[in-house]
Structure 1
């Protein structure tokens, strides 16, 4: 009689660790709040772009300057705010599906990375939808993102202004890139890891006397 299948095909996948939802939501919500609060506070303090001079933390290199970005991260794709808002919604849905439908949340590394990315998506999406815009502001700002972090190597070498949401997106993307280069290092096993040790022997192999352990012969009388 054949032995029962040791890995029945209808076996449900292992449940996700309970703390994954807490970690993901905690990072996404905290990151979004930090981004939106900082934007509100900095713009209330320094005013709209051009109203006040740069407030230097490290003179000539790192400071605070308000700006409105009509493109994507670090000013890429100027004037396509509506498109980027739509992409942000799609990306947010994709993150949830990847984590909780395709079970990427088994990996704490991926949970943290996608939590940071979600926080950045929420923070910038709020601005893209024009929820900060007020009557009297330029119409183009309705899909613009508030930036305030200024970094430059010199007056000729300036990095586009950015915000906390941009930083969260970049850190999360770097974590995903690291995971893609080193799969299995941070809690996500590679496809081939452990395949040799987890495969049970076939019936033919288990019944082959050549593969059975030898025993010493009993001493003759």
Structure 2
């Protein structure tokens, strides 16, 4: 472990990663138990905007790569590689020195763990949130909270990448501002 990374970062990271994954898996179980398997009648939460609509996804986010042979195993393997890379970067390389980055990667790990569990145990990912605005013809792919955590973590990382910390201008000393005689 990188000595510059304290235990508080481990606690922050794993609280977000494991808490987020648990939240994702519990919500999937509750919704699929309440609504039923794919093909069941969706439950409207906000008419013509938001509903619980169960779906099995063999691909990645928004169904990307679902037609690949053994797509669930491919994406589960990629999740494991990503998890190892995240842990190495944070706790060996020292990236956890930045608390916001630690939290963002915790969100990404939470999403990866939640969806990886589904892929390995069920052979597909359980999606259930369907956001659509019928009045304007907008229809988003069905997703789950793991997907939300992956996207939120990526957005935080992008914001961290573009943040600009302005260096303090050098302070003029009294001697340099007095003309020499």
Hey, what does 2:65 align to over in structure 1? 77
Report the TM-score, using the length of structure 1 for normalisation.
0.70
Aligned equivalents of 1:96 and 1:125: distance in 2?
A: 16
Structure-to-structure mapping, 1:52-201, within 5 angstroms: 53-79=41-67, 80-129=71-120, 131=121, 133=122, 142=123, 144-154=124-134, 156-182=137-163, 184=165
Residue 112 of structure 1 aligns to a residue whose secondary structure is: helix
Aligned equivalents of 1:101 and 1:170: distance in 2?
A: 25
Which 4+ stretches in 1 moved above 4 angstroms?
A: none
Deviation at 1:15, TM superposition (A): 2.1
Residue 140 of structure 2 aligns to a residue whose secondary structure is: strand
Residue 48 of structure 2 aligns to a residue whose secondary structure is: coil
Deviation at 1:157, TM superposition (A): 2.8
Residue 160 of structure 1 aligns to a residue whose secondary structure is: coil
Shift in alpha-carbon separation, 1:160–1:93, aligned structure 2, 3 A? same
2:27 paired with 1:38:
yes
Shift in alpha-carbon separation, 1:97–1:42, aligned structure 2, 3 A? same
Deviation at 1:14, TM superposition (A): 5.7
Residue 100 of structure 2 aligns to a residue whose secondary structure is: helix
Report which structure shows greater RCO (CA 8 Å, sep ≥6). Answer: 2
Residue 142 of structure 2 aligns to a residue whose secondary structure is: strand
Report the TM-score, using the length of structure 2 for normalisation.
0.85
Hey, what does 1:209 align to over in structure 2? none
- Which 5+ residue runs of structure 1 have no aligned equivalent? 1-12, 134-141, 186-192, 198-221
Deviation at 1:154, TM superposition (A): 1.7
Deviation at 1:183, TM superposition (A): 5.3
> What per-residue deviation string (whole Å, max 9, x for no partner) do you get for residues 50-81 of structure 1?
12x22111101011110011110121221322
Q: Which has the higher helix share?
A: 2
- Which 5+ residue runs of structure 2 have no aligned equivalent? 172-181
Shift in alpha-carbon separation, 1:179–1:93, aligned structure 2, 3 A? same
> What per-residue deviation string (whole Å, max 9, x for no partner) do you get for residues 127-169 of structure 1?
111x1x3xxxxxxxx2x10001010122843111000100000
